[in-house]
Structures are given as structure tokens and as C-alpha cells.
Amino acid sequence: MNFQANELWGNRQPICPYCKQKQSMDDYYPDEGVHDLECENCEKKFVVQVRIERQFDTVGDCALNGEMPHELKLLFDFKNTKEYRCLKCRAEIYGWALEGGTYQKLTADQYVIVGDEVKK
């Protein structure tokens, strides 16, 4: 089955080309490729092409590079929420992840706070 170009490319969910109604995806999770679908609203059939995209999130890591401890500089302090950035690996770390924080991820020997003043 060929897929013809039209104005409804690049949507997060299928849109009926006849009545322009968005289709729910609750029970329909096809593999990548071309599939046929029936509109929930006007009941006309149409062709949908499913494309699966890859996205990448990256963050530096002092431990991977043998550069511990992190050197943390305070970025902001708002309503008791502190955000730090490591000057070496550029990772952003919240105060609640530091030693004694609510969701501690780092111990005191894994970071040094080198700047605790926010410029205004």
C-alpha cells in the first residue's frame, strides 16, 4: 500500500482526513509502517503511517571520566529549592539529591560546593 502526501503529516495521533477528528490511540498501538484505520467519528476508512522516532538525552558525568568530586555552583534558589550545575561535567543537580536531601543521590564525598551565591 502506498502512502500519499497530504497536509496531515507529523501529528502525535492520527487525524481523520475527512472530518479532521483526532483518533484515540487507547486500543491501537501498531508497529511502524502503513496501516488502515476507521474514523471513530465519521466511520470512513483511511490510511495511517506510523513512524517511530528516536530521541536522545545526554548529560556529562564526572564519575565516568574519573573527575570526581563534582564541583557545584548554585544556579538558583527559589522557595527552598536549590539547583546546582557542575562546573566540570555540566550536570544539573538539585539540593534534594545532595547528602541529607529528601532524595539523596550523592554522598558528601561526591561533590564540593564551589559557589553558593546566586547573581541577581
- Map out the domains of the chain as residue ranges: 1-55, 70-115
* Distance separating alpha carbons of residues 60 and 86, to the nearest angstrom: 9
Query: Mean of the pLDDT values across residues 29-45?
Result: 87
The Cα 110–Cα 69 span in angstroms is: 5
What pLDDT does 25 receive?
75
Q: Which residue has the higher pLDDT, 92 or 115?
A: 92
74 CB burial (10 A radius; 0-12, 13-18, 19+): middle
Q: Which of 94, 117, 114, 118 is nearest to 106 (CA)?
A: 94
What pLDDT was estimated at residue 29?
63
Asked if 50 and 92 touch (Cβ cutoff 8 Å), the reply is no
Which pLDDT belongs to residue 52? 79
Res. 109: pLDDT tops 80: yes
What local confidence, expressed as pLDDT, does residue 54 receive? 78
Q: Give pTM, 2 decimals.
A: 0.56
What are residue 43's phi and psi, to 5 degrees?
A: 65, 15
